[in-house]
Amino acid sequence: MKIILIGIQGAGKSTQGNLLSEKLKIPYLSTGHIFRELAKEKTPEGRYIKETINAGYLLPDEKTLSIVSNYLHRAEYNKGYILDGFPRTIAQAKAFENGIDKVVYLKVSDKEALWRLSGRDDVREDDTLKAIRKRINLFHEFTEPVLDFYREKGILVEIDGEKSIDEILQEILSELEK
pLDDT digits (tens, 9 = 90+) for 6-44: 999 889 999 999 999 999 999 999 998 889 888 999 999
Q: Torsion angle of alpha carbons 70, 72, 75, 77, nearest 10°?
A: 170
pLDDT level of residue 125 (50, 70, 90 thresholds): low
Please state, rounded to an integer, the average pLDDT across all residues of the chain.
90
Q: What is the CATH number of the domain that holds 95?
A: 3.40.50.300
Q: Residue 127 has what pLDDT?
A: 64
Residue 130 has pLDDT above 80, yes or no: no
pLDDT level of residue 134 (50, 70, 90 thresholds): confident
What's the pTM? 0.85
CA distance linking residue 84 with residue 17, whole number of Å: 7
Question: Span 154-164, mean pLDDT?
Answer: 97
Q: Which of 67, 77, 68 is nearest to 21 (CA)?
A: 77
Parent domain of 79? 2-177
Looking at the 3D structure of the chain, how many domains does it have?
Answer: 1
Q: Residue 146 has what pLDDT?
A: 95
What share of the chain has pLDDT > 90, as a percent?
63
Residue 124 has pLDDT above 70, yes or no: no
- Give burial (CB, 10 Å; 0-12/13-18/19+) of 138: middle
pLDDT digits (tens, 9 = 90+) for 65-78: 999 988 888 999 99
pLDDT digits (tens, 9 = 90+) for 45-58: 999 999 998 887 88
| End-to-end Cα distance, the chain | 13
> Do residues 174 and 127 make contact, with C-beta atoms less than 8 angstroms apart?
no
Q: What is the 3-state secondary structure (H, E, C) of 74-85?
A: CHHHCCCEEEEC
Any idea what DSSP says for residue 139? I
